[in-house]
Amino acid sequence: MNDNAWIRTVALKPPSLQDNTADADRLVEALKPELETSRIDIELSLLRQLPRLLRRWNYHVRCVSVRDAGRWRLLDVIGLSESRPIAGLAVDLGTSRVALRLIDLVDGKTLGEGAFDNPQLSVGADILARIHHCEGKGGLERLNRLIIDGINRHLAGLCRSVNLDPRDVFLIAAAGNTAMTHLLLGLNPRWIIREPYIPVVNRPGLLAAGDLGLEAHERARILVFPNIGSYFGGDLIAGILYAGMHAARETAILVDVGTNAEVVLGNANWLIACAGAAGPALEGGVTRMGMMAGPGVIDRVQIVSGDGRLRIHTIADQAPIGICGSGLIDLAAQLFLGGMVDIRGKLVPDACGHRLKQIDGIDNFVVVPASESAGGTDLAISQADLDSLIRSKAAMYTILETITSTVGVSLNGLDPFYVAGTFGSFIDPASAITIGMLPDLPLDRYRSIGNSSLGGAAMALTQADGLDRIDAIRQRITYLELNVNQDFMNRFSAAKFLPHTDLNRFASVKLAAG
């Protein structure tokens, strides 16, 4: 029966004629020194239950409270004999996938985890389509209901699976990009995408979960991660918290790659961030065979040296149906190392041999012949797909080069180099280096940290000063607007080669064709 950030056990002196302080005030006075605060609020709904609860448990109770800018809010009092967990819920509000993690607020342990496709996909695949949908009558309300209902449904299911009740969830922490955060809160995202790109709120803070329609404990609070602007959201701030960059002496870098490449560079003294369009090639959906990771999707590609045959790996080892970002990077790296793609990213007919096919007048490289694919048709990537990948990787590298040079840090000096996101966790850094997407660092400096947004949200659940830390991180970040000027274009042009025009930067990349 340990106490932690939010939980305190107090034994009150029962009322007497000598001390006839009211129930609520008696409890508050006993809690104040425990929570080291001068102010504790109790909501009316709890006040109404308090006399019964205190007497039922003989004035000896566990108090669940949350901290909000210096003052505390008492959420509930619970008998010592009650055995139900006091739970928290971390939410990563992805545009495509939403991830949930239930944790025990006492010991921070994970009680259960789950993820589901963002139900807003039914309205629009990308965030822009959803924002436009909000212009229509009832559009915002519809998108808001979809995400709230989705979380409620999956939270209920997750709770059931671990023998909990959603009412055991006292605190929720949610991190998402700025637009997703708006849709969660029912805030109009209209102005996010229009110059000068203004969110409704940067720091939503701690809200009543019930006000959002979330079904948890009746007085549950939700900590909504702040954003820095329309293009740098709470998911990134959660990532920084999770990676611990804001508290580290070394200068580290955190890269979250999706449709946007979001990059944070810094240490305990400073943090600089930028975001730029990295192109859609990395997320799947653009190459004809590209797709999100899932069963049957090719995520690893290797050329067996000697005969030039491809060894592919699919998720869940099922018959191949397409390729995801990490597979595409592997493939491009292998083709380049095997001489089947040249330094400009073009397919080399002689080297590709029978794997080269012309479709609609465009060169295609057959990754999986029709006979071996799940759908019975060739799985191929076209020269256009490769061009798109190369633009994406060039954008990524250029962003990294720009942000580091802006603060005078050498790309090669970065340690550690955090790669975040589901996608990041599948990338093979060696392949990414081979095509010049990531800098040529010793591989052990790359740390794949998975869903850092979810990780940061979970972390905030167990820290009494979580919101303060998060606000402090937010305050510390300098946001670098990426000006697409001549410098940027020059860097981008150089980065459009494999791995780069300046081969000295990629000494580890050994070309087969020399």
d(CA 399, CA 282): 15
Binding a copy of itself (rule: CB under 8 A), the pick from 205, 244, 285, 294 is 205
Q: Which is nearer to a copy of itself, 137 or 249 (CB)?
A: 137
Instruction: Compute CA 12 distance to the chain's CA centroid, rounded to the nearest angstrom.
Output: 43
Nearest Cα to Cα of residue 301 among 389, 409, 362, 205 = 389
CB of 187 to a copy of itself, least distance (A): 6
How far, CA to CA in Å, does 200 sit from each of 141, 232, 239?
16, 14, 22
Q: Is 489 in the site for a copy of itself (CB under 8 A)?
A: no
CB of 66 to a copy of itself, least distance (A): 14
Binding a copy of itself (rule: CB under 8 A), the pick from 199, 234, 455, 466 is 199
CB-based contacts of 424, cutoff 8 Å, min separation 6? 255, 256, 257, 448, 449, 450
Q: Which is nearer to a copy of itself, 49 or 501 (CB)?
A: 49
Sheet holding 477-479, edge to edge: 446-450, 417-420, 252-257, 260-266, 271-277, 477-479
CB-based contacts of 504, cutoff 8 Å, min separation 6? none
d(CA 279, CA 21): 64
CB of 369 to a copy of itself, least distance (A): 52
Q: Which stretch binds a copy of itself (CB under 8 A): 169-177, 204-212, 253-261, 406-414?
A: 204-212
Binding a copy of itself (rule: CB under 8 A), the pick from 13, 71, 84, 309 is 71
Q: Is 344 in the site for a copy of itself (CB under 8 A)?
A: no
Q: Which is nearer to a copy of itself, 195 or 350 (CB)?
A: 195
Q: Is 36 in the site for a copy of itself (CB under 8 A)?
A: no
CB-based contacts of 390, cutoff 8 Å, min separation 6? 332, 345, 435, 496, 498
Whether the CB-CB separation of 230 and 184 falls below 8 Å is answered with no
CB of 213 to a copy of itself, least distance (A): 10
Q: Is 198 in the site for a copy of itself (CB under 8 A)?
A: yes
Whether the CB-CB separation of 133 and 188 falls below 8 Å is answered with no
CB of 379 to a copy of itself, least distance (A): 44
CB of 356 to a copy of itself, least distance (A): 48
Q: Is 197 in the site for a copy of itself (CB under 8 A)?
A: yes
Q: Is 150 in the site for a copy of itself (CB under 8 A)?
A: no
Q: Collapse the DSSP code of 229 into the 3-class scheme (helix H, G, I; strand E, B; otherwise coil) and give the result.
A: strand
Q: Which is nearer to a copy of itself, 65 or 227 (CB)?
A: 227
Supply 499's token pair. 């791995």
Cross-strand pairs, 208: 221
Q: Which is nearer to a copy of itself, 196 or 514 (CB)?
A: 196
Looking only at residues 176 through 195 of this chain, which bind a copy of itself when binding is defined by CB under 8 A?
185-188, 190-191, 195
Q: Collapse the DSSP code of 22 into the 3-class scheme (helix H, G, I; strand E, B; otherwise coil) and give the result.
A: coil
Nearest Cα to Cα of residue 180 among 420, 457, 425 = 457
The 14-33 contact track toward a copy of itself, x by CB under 8 A, reads -xxx-xxxxxxx--------
Q: Is 124 in the site for a copy of itself (CB under 8 A)?
A: no
Q: Which stretch binds a copy of itself (CB under 8 A): 40-48, 312-320, 359-367, 397-405?
A: 40-48
Binding a copy of itself (rule: CB under 8 A), the pick from 13, 56, 203, 309 is 203
CA dihedral of 257, 263, 266, 272, whole degrees rounded to 10: -160
Q: Is 201 in the site for a copy of itself (CB under 8 A)?
A: yes
Q: Is 200 in the site for a copy of itself (CB under 8 A)?
A: yes
Binding a copy of itself (rule: CB under 8 A), the pick from 52, 56, 109, 344 is 52
d(CA 207, CA 389): 41
How far, CA to CA in Å, does 465 sit from each of 239, 344, 477?
17, 51, 19
Q: Collapse the DSSP code of 210 into the 3-class scheme (helix H, G, I; strand E, B; otherwise coil) and give the result.
A: helix
The Cβ-side half-sphere exposure at 330, using a 13 Å CA radius, reads 21
| AA identity, residue 375 | G
Q: Collapse the DSSP code of 161 into the 3-class scheme (helix H, G, I; strand E, B; otherwise coil) and give the result.
A: helix
Which helix (H) or strand (E) segment holds residue 372: the answer is: none
Supply 241's token pair. 């918290």
Q: Is 48 in the site for a copy of itself (CB under 8 A)?
A: yes
Binding a copy of itself (rule: CB under 8 A), the pick from 94, 166, 176, 204 is 204
Binding a copy of itself (rule: CB under 8 A), the pick from 124, 157, 229, 375 is 229
Q: Which stretch binds a copy of itself (CB under 8 A): 201-209, 329-337, 354-362, 406-414?
A: 201-209
Q: Which is nearer to a copy of itself, 70 or 408 (CB)?
A: 70
Q: Which stretch binds a copy of itself (CB under 8 A): 203-211, 248-256, 486-494, 505-513?
A: 203-211
Binding-site residue total for a copy of itself (CB under 8 A)? 48
Instruction: List contacts with a copy of itself (CB under 8 A).
Output: 15-17, 19-25, 39, 41-45, 47-48, 50-52, 69-71, 185-188, 190-191, 195-205, 207-208, 211-212, 227, 229-230
